[in-house]
Structure 1
Amino acid sequence: MESATYKGYVLWGHAIREQQEILERERYASSGTVTKGGKFVEASGILEVVDSELDAEQLGLEWARAWVDSHA
């Protein structure tokens, strides 16, 4: 889980490991969460499934920044 502070909000990018079959490569579902003052504000749900944990976290953070820009 990756976090960032943006315009007074704390944003979280999540990577949820998915593996359908033992022989398949690991994939990561991305999601984002927005908090302010230690309280939950909004969450994205699953945004996309990608090959990298870091990519998944970054997608979540990008979503959270966009949410703040359109709602703050």
Structure 2
Amino acid sequence: MRSEKHKGYTLWGHAILQQKESSQRERYAASGTITLDNKVVEASGVLGEFGTEDEAELAGLRWARAWVDSFN
């Protein structure tokens, strides 16, 4: 999980390891959460699957930034 501050909100990018069969590469589902004063303002559903934890977390943060920017 990765976080950052943006326009007074705290944004969270999540990477959720997907179950895999032994022959498959690891995949991570991405999601994002937006909080303000330690309260959840909005949360995404699954934003897609990515090959690395880092890519998934960044996708969650991009979604959260775009959500905040669309309202501010």
> Would you call these one fold, judging by a TM-score over 0.5?
yes
Q: Say whether residues 1:25 and 2:25 are aligned partners.
A: yes
* Unaligned stretches of 5+ residues in structure 1: none
Q: Please give the root-mean-square deviation of Cα atoms over the aligned residues, in Å.
A: 0.7
Partner of 1:61: 61
TM-score normalised by the chain length of structure 2? 0.96
Identity of aligned residues (%): 58
TM-score normalised by the chain length of structure 1? 0.96
* Unaligned stretches of 5+ residues in structure 2: none
Moved over 6 A (4+): none
Larger mean CA deviation between 55-64 and 14-23 belongs to 14-23
The CA deviation string for residues 16-61 of structure 1, in whole angstroms up to 9 with x for no partner, is 0013312211000000000000100000110010101000000000
Q: Does the CA contact (< 8 Å) of 1:19 and 1:25 recur in 2?
A: no
